[in-house]
């Protein structure tokens, strides 16, 4: 039997589509069959399965498990929870060899998808294409797998608490923190975690609701932090933490309501970590501020700029042995005392711990950061066939430029004014641009360079594309 997926759902980092249009139970069943066949070929036999709070997730879970067991894999059902709880189930249990989380992450409610881990490593890129080929070729193994249920929420929360790293509870008793789960899958775990954390904790939207009635669960969009900002102001809290729909990305604001962006959070985590692990490698994606890379170096660490994408960052961490990495998008990865995957709940605990160990409030830490002038991430539509070619053209034109040109992921150009970035998205037909300077005038000159390069390739920034 052969099966053909809609080609738009087999993406770089995961599988994701629109329910009833490009994704449904038949796809979930076929994903299960292909994944199980690949895992058995690699010597594995047991898969953990979790799902997020979307309305379509239970149906997809049922079909996925049918596919996994029909190709001979045993299944451990962990139920509804955040994606990092699924990662934990896979990483912490010796008898589990792979994991699949059914989640639409921060996409609109009518989307859903699958994030996968395979024998302790991210399953992405060519792995996902191979999964599609196995289905198309009908290369499925047959078998009869078993299904068991494991309630791991309490064990997972216990593990999250270890992120306090031996800090005495008394040192955190005066802390007052706001948390916003955004009606996403992290809600129940957050309630259990906050009940056991020292200090005073105020929670928003922990009821799981796949229609996201209060605001969209994407903490990298500042408008989605409005309710958390209001809570912090109203109750005079020390800071606030927000999660995305499946709990693997963190957002934060300080006590004055200022956003602490992904690279700024990484500055705090790095300073804390480098006090204990001098000269450690810290990885950040190409969209991160120069201030972060300078900060890591100033504190004795080795900063590494790498490609955007949580699977790519995780792979680079394994290669370099880096104990810490992060992305502008709010994915933060700890491998010093944790497993190296992106877990926003754990990152929240580590923010409490970092502030306590550094002896400064989160607001003080945010206030001490250099005041850079930068653009948000600008995304604009470009034909799929042109996006990578355009970047190659820019690289070729800048080959003899006196500026510092980094081609790690797209083109990042550093000049006396600061830096600008142009890269092709791996998941959408868009180009991504960003620029940063120490002055408005410098930023304008950097933006003019981006526009000049786009024009030379017959493109323009034009209307911005959504996420």
Catalytic residues: 105
Residue 142's CB: how many other CB atoms inside 10 A? 9
172: its two tokens: 């955190």
Classified as helix, coil or strand, 341 is coil
**Rounded distance, CA 334 to CA 324, Å?**
5
- Which H/E stretch holds residue 395? helix 384-397
3-state secondary structure 100-135: EEECCCCCCCCEEEEEEEECCEECCCHHHHHHHHHH
Q: What contacts 337, CB < 8 A, 6 or more positions away?
A: 162, 163, 165
417: its two tokens: 């004014």
150: its two tokens: 């494991």
Q: How long is the chain?
A: 467
Kindly report the backbone phi and psi dihedral angles of residue 150, in degrees, each rounded to the nearest multiple of 5, phi listed first: -130, 125
Q: At what angle do helices 83-92 and 344-358 cross, to 10 degrees?
A: 90
449: its two tokens: 């360079």
Q: Report whether 226 contacts 163 (CB < 8 A).
A: no
292: its two tokens: 């972060």
Give the burial string for 62-92 (b: 16+ CB within 10 Å, else e).
ebbbbbbbbbbbbbbbbbbbbbbbbbbbbbe
Q: Report whether 183 contacts 207 (CB < 8 A).
A: yes
Among residues 102, 108, 6, 3, the alpha carbon closest in space to that of 47 is found at 102
**Rounded distance, CA 417 to CA 438, Å?**
7
Among residues 185, 120, 192, the alpha carbon closest in space to that of 155 is found at 192
The full DSSP string for 280-337 is -EEEEETTS-HHHHHHHHHTT-EEEEE-SSHHHHHHHHHHHT-SEEE-TTS-EEE-SS
Q: Report whether 248 contacts 331 (CB < 8 A).
A: yes
**Rounded distance, CA 353 to CA 358, Å?**
8
- Secondary structure letter of residue 340 according to DSSP: S
């Amino acid at each position: 039997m052969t099966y053909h997926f809609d080609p738009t759902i087999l993406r770089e980092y995961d599988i994701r589509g629109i329910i009833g249009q490009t994704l449904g139970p038949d796809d979930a069943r076929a994903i299960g069959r292909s994944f199980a066949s690949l895992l058995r070929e690699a010597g594995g036999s047991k898969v953990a399965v979790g799902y997020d709070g979307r309305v379509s997730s239970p149906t997809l879970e049922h079909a996925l498990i049918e596919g996994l067991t029909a190709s001979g894999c045993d299944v451990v059902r962990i139920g509804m929870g955040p994606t990092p709880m699924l990662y934990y189930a896979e990483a912490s249990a010796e008898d589990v060899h792979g994991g699949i989380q059914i989640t639409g992450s921060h996409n609109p409610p009518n989307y859903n998808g699958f994030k996968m881990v395979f024998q302790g490593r991210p399953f992405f890129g060519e792995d996902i294409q191979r999964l599609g080929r196995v289905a198309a070729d009908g290369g499925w193994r047959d078998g009869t797998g078993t299904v068991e249920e494991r309630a791991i929420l309490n064990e997972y929360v216990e593990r999250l608490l270890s992120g306090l790293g031996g800090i005495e509870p008394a040192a955190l008793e005066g802390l007052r923190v706001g948390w916003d789960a955004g009606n996403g899958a992290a809600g129940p775990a957050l309630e259990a975690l906050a009940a056991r954390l020292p200090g005073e904790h105020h929670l928003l939207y922990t009821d799981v609701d796949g229609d996201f009635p209060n605001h969209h669960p994407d903490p990298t969009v500042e408008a989605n932090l409005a309710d958390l900002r209001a809570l912090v102001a109203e109750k005079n809290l020390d800071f606030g933490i927000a999660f995305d729909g499946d709990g693997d990305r963190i957002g934060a604001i300080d006590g004055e309501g200022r956003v602490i962006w992904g690279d700024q959070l990484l500055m705090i985590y790095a300073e804390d970590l480098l006090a204990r692990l001098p000269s450690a490698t810290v990885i950040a994606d190409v969209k991160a501020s120069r201030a972060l890379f300078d900060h890591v170096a100033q504190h004795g660490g080795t900063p590494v700029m790498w490609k955007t994408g949580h699977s790519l960052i995780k792979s680079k961490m394994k290669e370099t042995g880096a104990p810490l990495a992060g992305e502008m998008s709010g994915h933060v990865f700890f491998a010093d005392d944790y497993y190296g995957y992106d877990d926003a709940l754990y990152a929240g605990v580590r923010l409490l711990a970092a502030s306590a160990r550094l002896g400064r409030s989160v607001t003080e830490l945010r206030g001490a950061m250099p005041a850079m002038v930068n653009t948000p991430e600008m995304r604009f539509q470009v034909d799929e066939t042109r996006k990578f070619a355009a970047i190659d053209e820019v690289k070729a034109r800048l080959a003899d430029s006196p500026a510092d040109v980094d081609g790690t992921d797209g083109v990042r150009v550093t000049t006396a004014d600061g830096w600008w970035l142009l890269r092709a998205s791996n998941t959408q037909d868009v180009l991504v641009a960003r620029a940063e300077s120490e002055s408005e005038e410098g930023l304008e000159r950097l933006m003019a360079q981006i526009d000049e390069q786009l024009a030379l390739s017959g493109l323009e920034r034009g209307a911005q594309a959504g996420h």
